[in-house]
Amino acid sequence: MVADMHCHILPGIDDGSRNRKETEKMLKLSFAEGIDTIVATPHFFCGMSEKLLKERDEAFEQTKRMAAGIRPDAVLYPGNEVFYSTEVPDALKRGDAKTINGTRYVLVEFEECADFGTIEKACQNLFYAGYWPILAHIDRFEGTRSEDHVKELVKQQVVMQVNTDAVMGADGWRTRHYILKLMKHGLIHILGTDAHGCEHRRPQMKSCLKEIEKRFGYDYRCAVSEKNPQKIIKGEKLYG
């Protein structure tokens, strides 16, 4: 079961899919890429209206039915890409912000200029509140552009996610080289397409998995695309 752990596929909720027609196309593209498990992660910011949160939940149910109609064995799970602020733990407890499939895992992002101290403290706050942080597209943040910083966060049991297109060079060859170096040392745990539509930032998986297996072997490819995602979806710890 190949999993996309970061995808903006819900129609009309954020800057991802614009409508149901585009969501249907994104689903078909995802399935053609070999993806059969999708975690829908629309953006969440503290202070979002109750109306939009309700629309998010309704859009998830619609998309889940749509996916089943296209491919009955495919599975869609709820989540959010949560922009961190000090109010996030309370938003998670209320259910305004969604964890991954109702587990303790939460996909979290920051401003690109966020330094290591900011990210580390945020992760510690989430742990103290009973949640297990997953850092979205870690190559984008100032504080996780150092391998030593990533290693320190991994020691603290933070989960690391990268985007499949970044692995293939979409964010530049320097970023690609950095991600591959982290993978070589086993510091990347899961993948996400971070797809936002059918054209720009479309779902991509096959070429990335082929590249990972070529460089790091079948077992690591399975770990980041199947085994680790399934543990997260079930709420099982990756560490220890």
User: How far is the C-alpha of 117 from the C-alpha of 196, rounded, in Å?
Assistant: 30
CA 91-102-240 angle, 5° bins: 105
Tokens 């391998």 — which residue?
Answer: 147
**Is residue 233 within 8 Å of residue 3, measured between CB atoms?**
yes
Predicted confidence at residue 166, as pLDDT, reads 98
Predicted confidence at residue 239, as pLDDT, reads 75
User: How far is the C-alpha of 186 from the C-alpha of 163, rounded, in Å?
Assistant: 16
CA dihedral 71, 9, 5, 34 (to 10 degrees): 40
User: How far is the C-alpha of 217 from the C-alpha of 88, rounded, in Å?
Assistant: 38
Q: What is the pTM of this model?
A: 0.97
Predicted confidence at residue 240, as pLDDT, reads 57
Q: Which two tokens stand for residue 66?
A: 């749509």
- Other Cβ atoms closer than 10 A to 125: 15
User: How far is the C-alpha of 80 from the C-alpha of 107, rounded, in Å?
Assistant: 7
Closest by Cα among 105, 71, 116, 108 to 86: 108
Reading the chain (240 residues) residue by residue, the pLDDT tens digits are 999 999 999 999 999 999 999 999 999 999 999 999 999 999 999 999 999 999 999 999 999 999 999 999 999 999 999 999 999 999 999 999 999 999 999 999 999 999 999 999 999 999 999 999 999 999 999 999 999 999 999 999 999 999 999 999 999 999 999 999 999 999 999 999 999 999 888 999 999 999 999 999 999 999 999 999 999 999 999 975
- Other Cβ atoms closer than 10 A to 217: 11
